[in-house]
Amino acid sequence: MDLEKELKLRRTFGIISHPDAGKTTLTEKFLLFGGAINEAGAVKSNKIKKTAMSDFMAIEKQRGISVSTSVLSFEYENKRINILDTPGHKDFAEDTYRTLTAVDSVILVIDVAKGVEEQTEKLVEVCRMRDIPIIIFINKLDREGKDAFTLLDEIEQKLKLNITPLSFPIGIGYDFKGVYNIWNSNIQIFKSLDKQKINTNQIFNSISDNQLIKLIKEKNQKQIIEDLELIKGVYPNFNQDDYLKGNLQPVFFGSALNNFGIEELLNCFVKIAPFPQPKTSETRTIKPSEKNFSGFVFKIHANLDPKHRDRLAFIKIVSGTFKRNTPYYHVRLKKNFKFSSPNAFFGDKKKIVDVSYPGDIIGIHDTGNFRIGDSISCGEEVKFLGIPNFSPEYFKYVNNKNPMKTKQLEKGINQLMDEGVAQLFTLNINGRKVVGTVGLLQFEVIQHRLLYEYGAECSFEALNIFKACWIEPINKNDTFDDFKKVKQKFIATDTKKKIVFLADSEFSLEMTKTKYPNLIFHHSSEF
């Protein structure tokens, strides 16, 4: 099939939110409407018999949170939809930031009761940096929460977004009667039915329908007419070009748990969301319609199946057609590789694909050749931008609890770091390993996964480090050697063999900067 045609069929997006806003539940319901599953699960598996499709790691099932981005694909209205369900918890934010390099648009989920939360602001900031189009879904309308207009004001003020509602609720919480769909000009009546199956909702095309007034009561009918007038007067009309440029954000209302408002969101998304987009490399911008294949690794996941100890590199295809068993060029290693069993994903289930197109996410079995940020091409020296490491917040020494399992621990730590769970620094002075993370919960996850997946036990010892800085000498001279000598106690190398200065306080960092003006101290690994 021709490449241009395939491009138009694809939509690749991420679902982002603060923890517990309902991202994973929404992902499940998309799969349900796409016919990919017959019964939806929930993250809190005590409420519903099954756990979510996208939360398949043991620790996710235990804690009821997503700790790693999962990839899911399904067909809907002849379109191929690729979803990346990201972790909401700030401790795993790095995984989410990296994932945002692989999507063309995002759906931002907001909890009606909590409104805009801290993590939501950070995520929107990352989207804004990359001009990613955003659709907002306000979730859990069947629960008591904030008034719809109050929420819209909060989104505008806190997130600095230019929004336009494409649906609007009739009542909220116990008084929730349904949603007026501005996008399709109809009204859907809310009924709390089977949460795990698709239910047919009652739809009215006229706001003056007598049957409708009986169901929602006259006062609610008058209220929604007033609300719609107000929306018309206050908010801009929807314009697809503005949305695609990241200048206008449509808002939908619904309840993911009750399958309400999901179909409308999905129908609109399929029509307005962008096809696969060009991506900037160090040398040029690469367009999806180019004939030659190119792609990059944005995530590595070890032990997707603990029985097989496998390790998968997730590749986002940027341009051209990827074919199975064809040799492709690994830019960093300067070697050609053939991939005999590339996988398309469905939570922890996967199937081998022969051909993939721009926008698709494929998984490649990795024996240790890939790192996050690696580029693959048909021979061109292409290096995609935008997957840096940032300075972690917390630093701890790794101590081996069982000397008999040193090999397993080493292997486990290296693989988890390649995966981007945390960052590893090796101190130059004594070779001790230091793990840096964004949040404290990651240390627990590392311990759990080392024991569960590699049979290795470790403990973490606190280390007083303020910031990690990647060092770039303006010119190689004696100053750099002097710096390495004087500060040897605080100098380490990262997994890419770059020199990192681990400053123990803000004061010490500022003093060092003053003493060595010929050195540049970077807070991210890409410079």
**299 lies in a domain?**
yes
9 and 118 part of one domain: yes
127 and 226 part of one domain: yes
Task: Give residue 49's pLDDT band: very low, low, confident or very high (50, 70, 90).
Answer: very low
Task: Please determine, for residue 212, whether its predicted confidence score (pLDDT) is greater than 80.
Answer: no
197 and 320 part of one domain: no
pLDDT value of residue 46:
34
**382 lies in a domain?**
no
**90 lies in a domain?**
yes
pLDDT value of residue 208:
63
Read off the tokens for 233: 């007067």
Q: What share of the chain is helix, strand, coil (3-state, %, to 5)?
A: 30, 30, 40
More confident residue, 465 or 202: 465
**Interatomic CA distance for residues 465 and 391, integer angstroms:** 11
Rounded to the nearest integer, the mean pLDDT of the chain is 82
From 152-156, 163-167, 376-380, 471-475, the region with the lowest mean pLDDT: 471-475
What is the pLDDT averaged over residues 260-286?
89
Task: Please determine, for residue 400, whether its predicted confidence score (pLDDT) is greater than 70.
Answer: yes
**387 lies in a domain?**
no
**12 lies in a domain?**
yes
Read off the tokens for 281: 């490399």
pLDDT value of residue 206:
63
Domain CATH number, residue 472: 3.30.70.3280
CA angle 498/440/296 to nearest 5° reads 45
From 120-124, 248-252, 445-449, the region with the lowest mean pLDDT: 120-124
Task: Please determine, for residue 262, whether its predicted confidence score (pLDDT) is greater than 50.
Answer: yes
What is the pLDDT averaged over residues 332-352?
83
H helices present in 130-239, as ranges: 148-159, 210-216, 218-234
Task: Give residue 330's pLDDT band: very low, low, confident or very high (50, 70, 90).
Answer: very high
DSSP conformation class of 433: E
Domain edge (last residue) among 241, 272, 303 = 272
248 and 309 part of one domain: no
**386 lies in a domain?**
no
254 near 182, Cβ under 8 Å? no
**180 lies in a domain?**
yes
pLDDT value of residue 3:
84
428 and 486 part of one domain: yes
How much of the chain exceeds pLDDT 90, in percent? 31
**227 lies in a domain?**
yes
Task: Give residue 71's pLDDT band: very low, low, confident or very high (50, 70, 90).
Answer: confident
Longest dimension (CA), the chain: 86
**Interatomic CA distance for residues 317 and 331, integer angstroms:** 15
From 57-66, 404-413, 432-441, 514-523, the region with the lowest mean pLDDT: 57-66
More confident residue, 319 or 98: 319
Mean pLDDT comparison of 211-220, 451-460, 478-487, highest-scoring range: 451-460
61 and 169 part of one domain: yes
Q: What is the pTM of this model?
A: 0.78
pLDDT value of residue 64:
46
pLDDT tens per residue, range 126-184: 788 788 999 999 988 888 888 889 999 999 999 999 999 998 888 777 777 788 888 87
373 and 435 part of one domain: no
Domain edge (last residue) among 377, 411, 434 = 377
More confident residue, 176 or 520: 520
What is the pLDDT averaged over residues 303-316?
69
Task: Please determine, for residue 108, whether its predicted confidence score (pLDDT) is greater than 90.
Answer: yes
416 and 352 part of one domain: no
Task: Give residue 320's pLDDT band: very low, low, confident or very high (50, 70, 90).
Answer: very high
pLDDT value of residue 216:
66
Give the count of domains, the chain: 3
Tokens 């993939």 sit at which residue? 356
Task: Please determine, for residue 214, whether its predicted confidence score (pLDDT) is greater than 90.
Answer: no
Provide the residue range defining the domain that includes 318. Answer: 279-377
Task: Give residue 63's pLDDT band: very low, low, confident or very high (50, 70, 90).
Answer: very low
DSSP conformation class of 260: B
Task: Give residue 313's pLDDT band: very low, low, confident or very high (50, 70, 90).
Answer: confident
Domain CATH number, residue 323: 3.40.50.300
**Interatomic CA distance for residues 353 and 343, integer angstroms:** 6
Q: Which helix (H) or strand (E) holds 434?
A: strand 433-437
Mean pLDDT comparison of 71-75, 291-295, 387-391, highest-scoring range: 291-295
Read off the tokens for 367: 């024996």
pLDDT value of residue 386:
64
128 and 227 part of one domain: yes
221 and 106 part of one domain: yes
pLDDT tens per residue, range 286-295: 999 999 999 9
Task: Find the radius of gyration of the CA atoms of the chain.
Answer: 25
292 and 193 part of one domain: no
**Interatomic CA distance for residues 522 and 410, integer angstroms:** 28
Task: Give residue 69's pLDDT band: very low, low, confident or very high (50, 70, 90).
Answer: low
127 and 176 part of one domain: yes
Domain edge (last residue) among 272, 293, 312 = 272
